[in-house]
Every structure is written in structure tokens, then in C-alpha cells.
Copies of this chain bind each other. A is one copy, B any other.
Amino acid sequence: MPIELPVVEKILSANDLLAAENRRLLDAHGVTAVNVMASPGAGKTSLILRAIEALQGRLRVGVVEGDVAGRVDADKVAETGTPVVQINTGGGCHLDAPQVQSALRQLPLDEIDLLFIENVGNLICPTGFALGEHINMMISNIPEGDDKPLKYPGMFSEVDAIVLNKIDLLPYIDFDLSAFRTAVRALNAEAPIFELSCKTGEGLEAWVAWLSQQRG
């Protein structure tokens, strides 16, 4: 008969432990957090700015901006009067839970209903790191091409919602919408796909309605 000894199983990583702490902090303050992931230039900040505009007077928004360097996006958000914190990863290709924890300490959480966490522009690295978020969403976009689900299956398969941005460019770019939808569905049976343009505003309403529902 084997000797009894302590067996330790399913250890959470340091990042997961801190992500769970972030989640408890967000819940305690009644904040719903959305992790926004995408390639560089897909329209993460544009979409967040559109949401701030559309939700005015209904939900109070806060933003955490993640970038390798700079504060271009945080400045744009700050101009709207929305509470925002910039994280610079200094070369890191994704946000992590400790970085978000530091950011949360700088935000007036009791005055925020919906917190956007804009991840670093990258279709690969961010999927491996929980931040404490309630919802994971990604933005794909027309100029990026319809083959992205085939090349970056990790992100497409794990998110709760997919925005396909820049549909105003469809007349000028070869993009097979049906091929894109089929490739997404092969990876992710559930996530709604919102086809929209942050530039023209087309299609935004459905995404904002979905977002408001997530808030519950």
C-alpha cells in the first residue's frame, strides 16, 4: 500500500492567481471588464471611443490602454473625459494580470460600470494571459484579409465575441465575407460576429446592444 503523502494538483500560475484577485476586485465594485484584443491598427481604440459615445448617460466607461510604448491611445480616450490608465509593456507582447492590477489601483472603480482593457496589438500572445476580465473579444478587419482565422486559430477559438471592423473598405479590397464567417464558425460555434465600421458607424448599434446586455 502506498504511503500517504500530500499531492498538489492544478496549481494556478502566478498570473492566474492575480487575475482571480483582479476579478474579485472588479466584482466588489460592480465593474464588468472587457479584454479587447486585435492586430496593430485593427481599430481597438476607435471601437472603444465609439462605445464611450454610444453609452453616454447609460453606462459609465473606464479604459486601460496597453501598448509597447507611447500614450497616443490613452490621450485620445482622456480627451473624452473618460478615466483612463496607460500601461507600457516596454517590449512585452501582451498585458498580464499584475500590470492590470496596478492600473486598477489608479482608477475610480466605484464610478465605472464597464471597463475596457485594450490589450497590446497582437493576434497571438494575449490569449495566454488572463487579466481578470469577464468578457474576451477580438477585432478582425477587412484590410487584414479573410484568412486570419486559419492563421491565428488560438484567438478566434477562445473569444466570446468577434468584431469585423472597416466594412466601409469592402468595395476596395478582395475580402470573402462568407469564407471568413465559415472559417470562424469552424473554430468558434458560439461567438457572435459583428460586422461594422468605426469610421461610418454602420453596424455599431448591434454591437453596442450586445455589450449592454453583457453588463446584465
Q: Which residues of A contact B (CB under 8 A)?
A: 39-41, 67-70, 72, 91-93, 120-125, 141-145, 147-148, 150-154, 166, 168-169, 172-173
Complex-state Cα separation, A125 to B122, whole angstroms: 10
Tell me the number of copies of this protein: 2
Please state if B122 and A93 are interface contacts (CB–CB under 8 Å).
Answer: yes
With CB as the reference atom, state the residue of chain B lying closest to A155: B68
Min C-beta distance of A183 to chain B, whole Å: 10
Please state if A169 and B150 are interface contacts (CB–CB under 8 Å).
Answer: no
16 additional contacts (CB under 8 A) given A68-B124, A69-B152, A70-B147: A40-B148, A41-B148, A68-B151, A69-B150, A72-B150, A72-B151, A91-B154, A93-B93, A124-B125, A142-B143, A143-B143, A143-B144, A143-B166, A169-B172, A169-B173, A172-B172
> Which residues of B lie under 8 Å from residue A169 when comparing CB positions?
143, 169, 172-173
A93-B122, A93-B125 are contacts. A153–B41 as well, Cβ < 8 Å?
no
